[in-house]
Structure formats: structure tokens, C-alpha cells
Amino acid sequence: MRITSVAQARAAYHDRNTSDATVWTQQVAIGPHGVVSRYTYTVPAGRKALVASAYARWRRVTVAAPVGKITLFLNQGVGSGMNADIHNLLNTVDAIESISGPGGLFMGPASGVVCNTGDLGTGGTCDYSATHFITEFDA
Amino acid sequence: MSVDSSALPAGATVAQYLTKKWGIKTRLVPLSVVAVLTTPTRVVKNNPRRFALIVVNNGTGSVFVGWDNGVTISNGLPLSASGGSITLLADEDGELTCGEMIAIAAAGGNNLSVWEVESL
């Protein structure tokens, strides 16, 4: 008796039922606020995800009096790495700060990303925009 | 039983060899294609004249084979997808060669190609 098997190549991640799981936020002329979660994403069971890149941009719309700490955080992983962080006291109209976060992180089930903003000033408004470009696929 | 191998054409050397070895003339049975279900599915009937059997899984999922209706995806011999095969020869495998073969799969849509050599 001879039994033969044929080695089976597994499809690459990008051919395993991929879907776009990109998350983003765009907040326009927002006044002072405590830390607020703008979006979260969690990898579902049976799936994995690749963070291709992350981007965050902040802009001062009207001045604060007095200015307080501005924060725009992008985190990825479970309570781990911060991959983009804007943190300033700029108080000039049209002051802009932006940052691109690194991509390439593969996340397993229950891992994910978070975007938080905060403005501890008094008065004044700011724009906040951020995104994580995410591709999700079968584990 | 003995067969006069000189009755075969002079160039039919393999047939002459097998006739001497097995004592009887044989033939290749035409291809049979069997669609394996998720319940025990007969691949070949019991055939006491069968000397050789080749079964190839041309499906995209594994198929599991055995020799009675108790075969499951847990206890059967696995034939991997896209070309996994089993070859049985009377000289090596005895009665397994001519017994009824049953197959089962975790999902439908897997075809087995079956070739047999049997005595005339």
C-alpha cells in the first residue's frame, strides 16, 4: 500500500478573505474637553489584522485663553505601543501639527487600536483628524 | 490455475509477465469518478477479481477512506486535497485490495478518480 500526500501551500494573508477595517475620525472646531475616545477597533475572533499605516493631524481654529495641553494619541496593540502622538501648547490660529505613525504591525484576535483626543485649555477650538489604515484577514 | 502465456501477442511482455505471475489474464477497468459525500460513500464495490487499485483525490478538501461504513473523518486514512492518493496491490495488501472501499469528507464537492486492474 502506498499513500501519498500533496503539500498544500497556504494562501498569503492578503488572499485570505481580506476586508478593509480602516477606522478614522474627523472632528471640526471642537472646544476644550477631557480625554475622549474617538474610535476603537478590535480584531475579531478568527481574524488577524495588519495596520498598514496611521496618520494624525491637529489644527488650531480659534485661540484659547488660556491655552491648555492638547493631545491626540493613536495607540495600537493591547495597552502597548503608541504609534502617533501629538502633544502641544500651540495657540496661534492655523497652527498645524501632523504625524504619521509606522505601519506593518500584525495584530491577533482581541488586539486593536485606539484614538483619543483631549484639550485642557479654556475656550478656543481645534480640528482633529486621524486614521488607522487596517486590512483584516482570516487568521 | 494456469494460463498459456504464449497465447498472448509476442510484444505483450507485461501481460505475459503478469499472466505468469498471477496465473490469469487481467484488464484495466475504465476510469470511475466518485463524488464523496459527508456520509459514507462507496468508492468501489467488493470485487474478488481486483488485483490493483489506485484512488486519487482531485478535490480541494481532504477525503478519508476505509473498508467499512464505520469510516469517519477521524478514523479514515486521509487522502490530502489536490492529488493525495492510495495504491493497493494484491501482492502487498491482500484482501484490502479487493474489499469494498468507503470514503467520507468533511464537506461535499470532492471527487475521487478510481482505476482498477482486475482479472478477466
- Answer whether residue B87 is part of any domain: yes
- Answer whether residue B70 is part of any domain: yes
- Answer whether residue B41 is part of any domain: yes
**Taking residues B36-43, what's their average pLDDT?**
96
Q: Are the Cβ atoms of B96 and A1 closer than 8 angstroms?
A: yes
Predicted confidence (pLDDT) at residue B3 exceeds the cutoff of 70: no
Give the gap in angstroms from C-alpha A11 to the nearest C-alpha of chain B: 13
- Cell representation of residue A39: 474610535
**Taking residues A100-120, what's their average pLDDT?**
89
**CB neighbours of residue B76 within 10 Å:** 20
pLDDT tens for residues B62-76?
999 999 999 999 999
Q: Which domain holds residue B76?
A: 25-119
Number of independent structural domains in chain B: 1
Domain boundaries, chain A: 17-138
Q: Is the peptide bond before A66 cis (omega within 30 degrees of 0)?
A: yes
pLDDT tens for residues A2-57?
888 877 778 899 999 999 999 999 999 999 999 999 999 999 999 999 999 899 99
Give the HSE-up count for residue B90: Cα atoms under 13 Å, Cβ half-sphere. Answer: 15
How do beta strands A70-76 and A82-88 pair? antiparallel
Predicted confidence (pLDDT) at residue B2 exceeds the cutoff of 60: no
Predicted confidence (pLDDT) at residue B1 exceeds the cutoff of 70: no
Predicted confidence (pLDDT) at residue B7 exceeds the cutoff of 90: no
What per-residue confidence (pLDDT) applies to A75? 82
Instruction: Name the nearest CA neighbour of B87 among A4, A89, A106.
Output: A4
- Answer whether residue B101 is part of any domain: yes
What per-residue confidence (pLDDT) applies to A6? 78
Q: A76, A83 in Cβ contact below 8 A?
A: yes
Q: B65, B86 in Cβ contact below 8 A?
A: yes
Write the residue in B79, B82, B93 that is nearest to A1 by C-beta. B93
pLDDT band at residue A89 under the 50/70/90 scheme: very high
Interchain contact B87–A (C-beta under 8 A)? yes
Main-chain dihedrals φ then ψ at residue B40, nearest 5 degrees: -55, 125
Write the residue in A2, A5, A8 that is nearest to B87 by C-beta. A2
CATH 2.60.120 corresponds to the domain A17-138: yes
State the pTM of this model: 0.59
Domain holding B43: CATH number? Answer: 2.60.120.770
